[in-house]
Structure 1
């Protein structure tokens, strides 16, 4: 029976990042279990994208995968325009508004929009080259059993079982590991479904992330494809009520595009739908305890948040960097349970803070009474004209704050 130091269940962006981070400064022997194969990067942009902030960029740089990611499609943005469809409020953020990014020209961005498949491909290929990482992709896991000093993992189809000192569940919002270990979770239905797709915007995205708050929820246009000369492609994330999502996805492509043009006040021109549409429900999840003896949850397995600020993936990558740091700081003999519990408190605090912020923003834009809309617009415009407040908001979104894992710091 093969034995490993750490078994990571889930080879998505967060699980693969953890594997590479664990190997960066240690000789730990890592197993990764996932039956979802990595797919080749398609000619056309994938509809699922992530907004990567500076902290996450530094993680990828320190793991030597950022250059591989950016040789494919990616789009930096230097501006963000937010407005209230029902009121007069607006916010304009620019990389020029802040002086805390640093002197590195490559960091002079508010963020990068990158397709999920591109990030996963780069991480997977890097992990495949590491002799200390072993992939198990041929059979699904069937059972986990904790012993005194290890966890036993068995596979379906009579595949050879393995042992690991620790198991990490990085297997997404519907985590098999979380269910297998009966780890309690609190959750709340956001009463929103997200529609994602790729669209063409004739007036160009102008290296800007656009977001309009509609009466039924936020609609974001995220700039895509830096190699596209016209720079007129965007990925949309349209969060709206379940009934409205059903109505919108039932429309033909022309009528759907007309709805997007009207919703965005024509600021990006007459929009054209360029891809299929995908829809998924949005739910807030937060595991009560992300550590149970020798099993640890990270990423969406431990928490999911509303996508309106695009911070879900960044939060998961911070989990991976923090857990790798916890292992690195452990004694040579063993990783003490106290250190894992400290990690769990650290990450739960970060996740809770983000969940509360997302809930506050969502609730602030829900009421449609005239008085509320007036106050909301007044507040947005006030923030827009107070540089100090804008700097604080941008710094938080970029991951520029104290107490982050060391992998988020720029190398050199």
Structure 2
């Protein structure tokens, strides 16, 4: 029976980041179980993308994977333009709203999920302390007093001293161990696709708030196709999402052009459309015995601010810091070092639950502000947006939040100067 220190169920962006972060500061051995094939990077853009903020970029830099992402495909943006379809309110964020030392030259990066995962996976493959199990899914898991026992259908079982659930919003591990969850249906479905924008994206992230929900245009890096490709995330009611996905590509493109007030030109659809329901999930506990949840397995939020994956990456860095802290002061022998510390794990839980709860509340508040309102409320909303747009200190604080800066960041997400 193969023994490991940490078993990570899920080899997506957060699971792989967790593994690399643990290995960077400890001798702990890691097993990753994931049967999802590693996607090849082709000339066609992945419709699933992530908005990577400055803090996550620093985390990837410290893990020595950022350059690999840049060399594949990554699109920086220096501006954000947000406006209210039903009013006159707007917000424009630029680098001028921050001191140079606070933004590292960009407001953020739009990167295809397949690019991020590939860079992390390839880095993990180079580490002899990380083993991959890609042939079969786990069939059973049991938590003992000192170990976690994981079984496959036909492969030999494995054990670990700690299991990490990084297997997404519908986490198998979370369900097997019956973690209690709080759910809230956002009553939105998200449509994602790739589109061409004749006027170009101008290295800008665009978002319009419609009566039925936000529509975001996220700039993509496709050198051979120019700077006119965007990934869209259109959050709208389930009924409206069904109507939009049933339209012909030409009629769908007309709807997007109209919704965006033609600010990016006459848009055309260049990919399939995918839709999925949006649900808030929040684990009442992210630590149970020898099992920890991270990323979407622990919490999911509305994508209107693009912060979901960044929140999960901070989970990964924070958990790694919690687990590897004892190795800063003791022998580097994993057998004699007591690194599974229940008190430390409870501190981790309080840390990450507070961060997630704050983000969930913020997303709910923003969504509520932009729900269909009577004319006087719309007027006040427009006045508020215009006022914020003119007050530099307020804009600066909002941008810092978007960049990911918080009072309590994991060490791996900080620069050396921090």
TM over 0.5, shorter chain: yes
Partner deviation per Cα, 1:226-251 (whole Å, 9 max, x = no partner): 52463111000000000000000000
Superposition map of 1:156-305 within 5 A: 156=153, 158-225=154-221, 227-228=223-224, 230-305=226-301
Contact kept in structure 2, 1:113 and 1:222, CA below 8 Å:
yes
Partner deviation per Cα, 1:311-342 (whole Å, 9 max, x = no partner): 00000000000000001113632321010011
Q: TM-score, normalised on structure 1?
A: 0.97
Find out whether 1:392 has 2:388 as its counterpart: no
3-state SS, counterpart of residue 122 of structure 1: helix
1:347 to 339, 352, 362: 352
Find out whether 1:315 has 2:306 as its counterpart: no
Distance 1:300 1:374, change over 3 A: same
Find out whether 1:10 has 2:1 as its counterpart: no
Contact kept in structure 1, 2:324 and 2:339, CA below 8 Å:
no
Mapped to 2, the partners of 1:205 and 1:326 lie a distance apart of: 41
Q: Corresponding residue for 1:140?
A: 137
Out of 225-234 and 69-78, give the one that drifted further: 225-234
Q: Which runs of at least 4 in structure 1 moved beyond 2 Å after TM superposition?
A: 100-103, 226-230, 330-335
Contact kept in structure 2, 1:330 and 1:336, CA below 8 Å:
no
Q: Corresponding residue for 1:117?
A: 114
Mapped to 1, the partners of 2:90 and 2:389 lie a distance apart of: 7
Find out whether 1:333 has 2:330 as its counterpart: no
Mapped to 2, the partners of 1:256 and 1:335 lie a distance apart of: 52
Contact kept in structure 2, 1:224 and 1:231, CA below 8 Å:
yes
Contact kept in structure 2, 1:321 and 1:407, CA below 8 Å:
yes
Q: Compute the displacement of 1:201 (Å).
A: 0.3
3-state SS, counterpart of residue 366 of structure 1: coil
Q: Corresponding residue for 2:126?
A: 129
Contact kept in structure 1, 2:187 and 2:278, CA below 8 Å:
yes
Mapped to 1, the partners of 2:326 and 2:247 lie a distance apart of: 55
3-state SS, counterpart of residue 167 of structure 2: coil
Q: Compute the displacement of 1:102 (Å).
A: 4.0
Contact kept in structure 2, 1:330 and 1:339, CA below 8 Å:
no
Q: TM-score, normalised on structure 2?
A: 0.96
Mapped to 2, the partners of 1:333 and 1:184 lie a distance apart of: 28
Q: Corresponding residue for 2:415?
A: 410
Q: Corresponding residue for 2:146?
A: 149
2:302 to 300, 306, 309: 306
Root-mean-square deviation over aligned CA pairs: 1.1
Contact kept in structure 1, 2:212 and 2:372, CA below 8 Å:
no
Contact kept in structure 2, 1:91 and 1:383, CA below 8 Å:
yes
Contact kept in structure 2, 1:100 and 1:395, CA below 8 Å:
no
Mapped to 2, the partners of 1:147 and 1:339 lie a distance apart of: 20
Q: Corresponding residue for 2:361?
A: 356
3-state SS, counterpart of residue 407 of structure 2: coil
Structure 2 unaligned regions, length at least 5? 328-336
3-state SS, counterpart of residue 231 of structure 1: coil
Q: Compute the displacement of 1:347 (Å).
A: 0.3
Contact kept in structure 2, 1:62 and 1:411, CA below 8 Å:
no
| Alignment length (residue pairs) | 408
Partner deviation per Cα, 1:20-50 (whole Å, 9 max, x = no partner): 0000011110000011111111211010000
Structure 1 unaligned regions, length at least 5? none
Find out whether 1:57 has 2:57 as its counterpart: yes
3-state SS, counterpart of residue 72 of structure 2: coil
Contact kept in structure 1, 2:53 and 2:402, CA below 8 Å:
yes
Find out whether 1:365 has 2:362 as its counterpart: no
Contact kept in structure 1, 2:146 and 2:161, CA below 8 Å:
yes
Q: Compute the displacement of 1:353 (Å).
A: 0.3
3-state SS, counterpart of residue 330 of structure 1: helix
Mapped to 2, the partners of 1:278 and 1:95 lie a distance apart of: 33
